[in-house]
Homo-oligomer: A and B are copies of this chain.
Amino acid sequence: MEPAGVALERKIIDPDTYFDHNRPPANLQRTHDQVASFLEKHKASSRPIVLVTSGGTTVPLENNTVRFVDNFSAGTRGSASAEQFLSLGYLVIFLYRENSLQPFNRHYTHNQKGLLDYLQLDNGNVTVDPAYMEQVKSDLLKYLSSKDRLLQVTFTTLSDYLFLLREISRLVAPLGSQAMFYLAAAVSDFFIPSHSMAEHKIQSGSGDLTLRMNQVPKFLRPLVKNWAPLCFIVSFKLETDVKLLEPKAKHALEKYGHQIVVANLLNTRKWQVWLVTRDQDPCVLQISKEDLDAGRDIEQDIVAELARRHKEFMSRDA
C-alpha cells in the first residue's frame, strides 16, 4: 500500500460545463437584484467600482455535508483592501466567505472576543468599554460614512462562489474600464463533483480513506475572455515556495491575458507583495516591521498603487 499523502494525475473539465453540473446558491437571484439596484442607484456618480472577493471557498466531501476541504484565509487582505477602496471613493461590491472578516468590523472579531466583551454596565446602562471607545468611534464614523457605497454578498462553497462571480461579472461588465476586479479570495484548486460524492457521512470504521479529487477549471479564462473583457482585472497568487512565485505569476498573465497579478508568500504576505505585469519587472511593495506592529496595513499601499494604475487604464480607454 502507498503511504498516506498526495498524488496527482491528469484530467480537467471545461469551465463552461461546470455550471451545468452544479447547483446555483440560494442567494443567486437576490444577489442579482441587489447588484443591479446598487449599480442603478450609483449610476450618475461616475465613481470607479471594484469587485473585491475575499476569504476561502470550501469543497464538500459529502452531499449531506459533514466534512469539507477548506482554504486557509481569514479574509484579512480582502476586507482591509475594501476599506482602502472605499476611502479612495470607489463603489465596492464585497463578495466574501460567510463569517470571514468584513471591512471595519474586522477589528472586532476573530480575536477570541465577542460583542459583549466590548460593552459594560454603567449604572444600569449598556455602554462601550472606555478601553475601546476611541477606536470604536473612529471605525464607526468611517463605516457609517461609506456604508452606502458598500454592497456585501456571501458565499461558502466553491460552487456558490463561481455562480456569484459569473453573475456579478456580467452585471458589472458594461461599465468597462471603470470596473476593477480584485480577486483576493482563496479559491479551491480541487473538488469532488456532486455525482461522485458520498451521499451520507463517510464511515470511519474500516481504516484509511482515499479521496480522489478533480482539478477545478480555471475560471479566470472565461472571466477575462467572455464575462468582463473590458475591465481591469487583478488576480492573486499565494505560494509557500518563493522560487515558484514570479514564474507562476507571469505564466498566469500570459495564459489569461489580464492586467496584474499580486503575488505573495504565505509567511510574509502581511508586509511584502509583488505586483507582476506582462511587460515590466515585478514591483515590490513592502512595509517595515515597525509600521506593521503599529497597525499599518500593506493593503493601503497595494490599493493606492492599483488605483493609480486603474486610473491610467481608464484614461487610455477614454
Contact = CB atoms under 8 A, between A and B. Distances in A.
Interface of A: 1-12, 58, 61-62, 64-72, 98-99, 102, 104-106, 108-110, 112-119, 121, 126-128, 133, 136-137, 139-141, 143-144, 152, 154, 186, 188-190, 192-193, 196-198, 200-204, 206-216, 238-241, 244, 266-267
A164 to B, nearest CB: 15
A4 to B, nearest CB: 4
A137 B144 contact: no
Contacts of A108: 114-116
B241 A200 contact: yes
A43 to B, nearest CB: 26
A68 B115 CA distance: 29
A139 B116 contact: yes
Contacts of A67: 69-72, 188
B208 A212 contact: yes
Given A1-B11, A209-B211, A210-B211, 15 more contacts: A4-B192, A5-B192, A7-B212, A9-B207, A11-B207, A66-B240, A66-B266, A67-B69, A109-B114, A115-B118, A126-B140, A189-B202, A189-B204, A190-B208, A210-B210
Given A209-B6, A209-B190, A210-B6, A114 B133 contact: no
Contacts of A2: 212
A269 to B, nearest CB: 11
A127 to B, nearest CB: 7
Given A10-B208, A114-B104, A201-B241, A141 B121 contact: yes
A58 B71 CA distance: 11
29 contacts: A4-B192, A5-B192, A5-B197, A6-B210, A8-B202, A8-B206, A8-B209, A8-B210, A62-B240, A64-B266, A66-B71, A66-B186, A67-B69, A67-B70, A99-B99, A99-B109, A105-B113, A105-B114, A105-B116, A115-B118, A119-B128, A121-B140, A126-B137, A127-B127, A200-B240, A201-B238, A208-B213, A208-B214, A210-B213
Contacts of A266: 64, 66, 201
A140 B129 CA distance: 13
B98 A112 contact: yes
Contacts of A8: 202-203, 206-210
Contacts of A244: 203
Contacts of A113: 105
Given A11-B207, A64-B240, A121-B140, A104 B133 contact: no
